[in-house]
Structure 1
Amino acid sequence: MQTSLAQSSPPKVEATYGQGSKSFKLATGSPGELGLLQQLGEAFDKKEGARLVWIKAGSGASLNLLKTQQVDMIMVHAPAGVNKAIAEGWATGRTLIGSNEFYIVGPKADMAKIKSASSGADAYAKIANLQANFISRGDKSGTHQKEMDIWKKAGITPEGNWYIVTNDFMTASLKRANADKAYFMTD
């Protein structure tokens, strides 16, 4: 039986917050990039004496890390994936701590004229019809899953030189969209 690389090597620790003698591993993406985990981890350490060890991963990868028992908990925005994990028995609970709003951002010139779009699917259709550059995280994160849902609603399979997949996190992909004067969906 061949073992996947994700299962054979420990996940990379992005940061550790707190000084406590106990620790727990949490996998997530944007909440760590935006500083939320640092605030939560330091407050939790003061109260409970436990370090938060952050493993940087999008929703899809975080779910896989939990399933393979490489992390203790996850913070994701993929409700269907979480519900499936609970139904299959490899996750034990779910607590809603927030919700996401998604935005399509793009160049100031708005070549595809998405400001006049009637919906996200209409905006995507305008982008695809013009073949304006569009940056996709392509990483199976919750944001990427939402992006793909919108393409499906638009009846479009995005492909071609205009559809650029970064396989990177939110901040890096947003910077790429800005540099390339491209459209991008963010949360």
Structure 2
Amino acid sequence: MILSLIGWLGTSSYLVAHFYLALTHNPRIRLYYVVNLLAAVVLVFSSAAIASWQAAVTNLFWALISLAIVMRYAPQLPFKLSESWLMRPCVLLGIAGLGLSPLVFYQGMSLLGWAGTAMFVLSYLLFASGVIQRRRFLCYNTMAAYGLVPILYLDGNLPVFVLELAWGTISLVGLLRLKA
């Protein structure tokens, strides 16, 4: 019961922050990262406790990136971050997961979930480092969220399952608003 409440607290916090980023014209980006940091830490704990590893990994990475932004830590990377170099493998992994699912359903959905996890963490890295803008970030978040939904359902991770359904929808609405 307590674990579930903790998960719902993290979910609610993430949704408020994502709604703020996706649907406001000039969001205060530091506030966005502070709320994300708190939500991520909570969901790492609750997801790891029920062995929902895709959600735990995603949130751990988001917590680390958010902490770096909040602390104003900007490491100099010895290489240039490339959107196509990072995102293409995510798409291929997702396609492989979908292709496997008729043969070994759970493993295929797990692979699709890992593709969503990779897309989430890499798009967050690209957005936080300024390589991609908000529109592209929302596009990747739409795909990543809906890619994670099946495995979260199968794992019984209801707070993060609901989070991803809402996250994908908010991302899509924000994307459509930015294109208009």
- Please give the TM-score of this superposition, normalised by the length of structure 1: 0.23
Instruction: Compare relative contact order (CA 8 Å, sep 6+) and give the higher one, 1 or 2.
Output: 2
- Structure with bigger strand share is 1
- Structure with bigger helix share is 2
- Please give the TM-score of this superposition, normalised by the length of structure 2: 0.23
Q: Which protein has the larger Cα radius of gyration, Structure 1 or Structure 2?
A: 1
